[in-house]
Structure 1
Amino acid sequence: MELLQLQYFLAVARLEHVTEAARSLHVTQSSLSKTIGRLEEDLGVPLFDRIGRKLRLNEFGRKFLRRAERALFELEQGKQEISDFSSPEHGTLKLAVTTASTLPNILREFRKKQPTIQFHVQMLNLQEMLTLLYRGEVEYCLSSPPIQGDDIECQIVFIDPILIAVPKGHRLADRSSVSLTELKDEWFVGVKKGYGARDLVDSVCKSAGFVPKYVYEGDEPARLSALVEAEIGIAFIPSTARFTRERITYLQVENHELVREIALLWHRSRYISRAALEFREVVVDYFGALSKQTT
């Protein structure tokens, strides 16, 4: 059994399509098919049910996938550990986030301490983020809500109040607070379902007796303030995502504990580089200072 066979098998298992897997691996379809065929010959069983160019993992394939992922994961960890010890001043820190409002400040502080370390950040929904974390394709996740799971370490770093953003001239703009029931007839702009803050808000509003009516649902939380300012709708905005704008007023929510928890997640079995450890310190210190400012 060859390492190349395992790498090709994982690509096909994840995409379940020969053409797409070959494209992602930058190999020909015939080369990919032959390599998978040799792996199945070595194992003595088929790993896929074949439907044209589409493949579906069968029972043998699903069992083997878990082992193959674990084996390649350990090899990748070894590669990263050697790289870290041979050239600790270089490398790339890979992150996934469901909440990006505090990220620019955190990355700025990290760059001050590690100016030669690059980073790559993806804004994802919860399920996409967890998939990458389990696969070992990201080192940390900044998530709201916190996620508990096998092999996942979860450290809550901040309790973030959620505010109501309304445009100047709105009937509530001269208020400092508002009850949820007063918002039942309003139009909202927000992020799509699957993002933690949206799911939390919908759940709390439902408990207050109404379902928010959305005129806009997107995947860029930073755009919501501009939409509120343009009087498209009002929005639930976490305090850390609040922007100082002359044409927006932020109101506290009365009689409800409407807060989101922000957590840092990492894989318990993953090798953590020295740069990654320093990034975690930066995150904890940043939110610790932010907590002191808000108390």
Structure 2
Amino acid sequence: MELLQLQYFLAVARLEHVTEAARSLHVTQSSLSKTIQRLEEDLGAPLFDRTGRKLRLNEFGSTFLRRAERALFELEQGKQELRDLSSPEHRTLELAVTTASTLPQILREFRTKRPHVPIHVQMLSMQEMVTLLHRGEVDFCLSSPPLHADDIECQIVYTDPILVAVPKGHRLAGRSSVSLNEIRDESFVGVKKGYGIRNFVDAVCQSVGFVPKYVYEGDEPARLSALVEADIGLAFIPSTARNAWEPIHYLQVEDHGLVREIALLWHKSRYISGAALEFREVVADYFEALTHSQRAI
């Protein structure tokens, strides 16, 4: 059995399509098909059920996939560890976030400590983030809600109230708080389903008997404030994303405490570089200071 066979098998297993897998690997379809066929011959069992160029993992393939992923995961961790030992300032810090409101300040602080460490950040839905976490393809995730799994470490770093944002001329703009029942007939702007805050807010609203009516659903949380200002709809916005300079008004929710937990997540078996450890310290220090400042208000 060859390493290349395992790499090709993983690509086909994840995409379940020969053409797409060959494109992602930059090889010909015939070369990919022959490699998978040789692997199946070595193992003595078919790994896929085939329909044209589409393939679906069968029972043998699903069983073998878990082992193959674990083997390639460990090899990748070994490569990263050696790379970090030989050139620690050149290994990219891989981050994924479902909540980005605090990220600029955190990255700014990290840059002052490690100015030469490359950083790559992805804004993802919860399911996308979970996939990368389980594969060990990111150093850390900043997520809301938290994720609890056997192979994932989950550190709650902050408890963040969710506020209701209304335009300045709105009937509620003179208030400091509001109940969910008072806004059940309003129109809302928000992120798409699949993002942690959207799923959480919808669930809480449904628990009091209504489903928010969204007139805008997007994947850029930072755009919501501008839409509220334009009187397109109200928005549920975390306190950490509030901007005091924006010409909109924020209300606390009186009942059913709309509070989200922000967590730092990482794979238990992923190699953590010195730079990644320092990033984790920066995150913990940032949210500890934020907690103290909130208590002082």
Q: TM-score range by the shorter chain?
A: over 0.9
Kindly provide the amino acid, as one letter, of the partner of residue 238 in structure 2: P
2:211 is paired with a residue of what secondary structure? coil
Unaligned segments of structure 1, at least 5 residues:
none
1:79 is paired with a residue of what secondary structure? helix
**Structure 1 residue 241 corresponds to structure 2 residue 241:** yes
* Alignment RMSD (CA, Å): 0.9
The CA deviation string for residues 78-131 of structure 1, in whole angstroms up to 9 with x for no partner, is 001111111112210111110011111111111111111111111111111010
**Structure 1 residue 23 corresponds to structure 2 residue 23:** yes
1:250 is paired with a residue of what secondary structure? strand
**Structure 1 residue 8 corresponds to structure 2 residue 1:** no
Kindly provide the amino acid, as one letter, of the partner of residue 287 in structure 1: F
Q: Distance in 2 between matches of 1:39 and 1:214?
A: 50
Equivalent residue for 2:215?
Answer: 215
Kindly provide the amino acid, as one letter, of the partner of residue 141 in structure 1: C
The CA deviation string for residues 203-253 of structure 1, in whole angstroms up to 9 with x for no partner, is 211222221111111111111001001110000100011122442001111
Task: Give me the TM-score of the superposition, normalised by structure 1.
Answer: 0.98
Kindly provide the amino acid, as one letter, of the partner of residue 286 in structure 1: Y
Give, in angstroms, the shift of residue 255 of structure 1: 2.6
Q: Distance in 2 between matches of 1:255 and 1:73?
A: 46
Q: Distance in 2 between matches of 1:154 and 1:174?
A: 39
Equivalent residue for 2:281?
Answer: 281
Give, in angstroms, the shift of residue 19 of structure 1: 0.5
2:266 is paired with a residue of what secondary structure? strand
Q: Distance in 2 between matches of 1:254 and 1:59?
A: 51
The CA deviation string for residues 19-75 of structure 1, in whole angstroms up to 9 with x for no partner, is 000000001111111111111111111111111001111111111100000000000
Equivalent residue for 1:196?
Answer: 196
Q: Distance in 2 between matches of 1:62 and 1:192?
A: 31
Q: Distance in 2 between matches of 1:15 and 1:283?
A: 34
**Structure 1 residue 86 corresponds to structure 2 residue 86:** yes
Tell me the number of residue pairs that the alignment of Structure 1 and Structure 2 aligns: 295
Equivalent residue for 1:53?
Answer: 53
Equivalent residue for 2:102?
Answer: 102
**Structure 1 residue 156 corresponds to structure 2 residue 156:** yes
Name the % identity: 80
The CA deviation string for residues 170-192 of structure 1, in whole angstroms up to 9 with x for no partner, is 00111111111110111000111
**Segments ≥4 residues shifted beyond 6 Å:** none
Kindly provide the amino acid, as one letter, of the partner of residue 68 in structure 1: A
1:232 is paired with a residue of what secondary structure? coil
Equivalent residue for 1:32?
Answer: 32
Unaligned segments of structure 2, at least 5 residues:
none
**Structure 1 residue 126 corresponds to structure 2 residue 126:** yes
Give, in angstroms, the shift of residue 256 of structure 1: 2.7
Mapping 1:251-266, distance limit 5 Å:
251-266=251-266
Q: Distance in 1 between matches of 2:256 and 2:19?
A: 52
Equivalent residue for 2:174?
Answer: 174
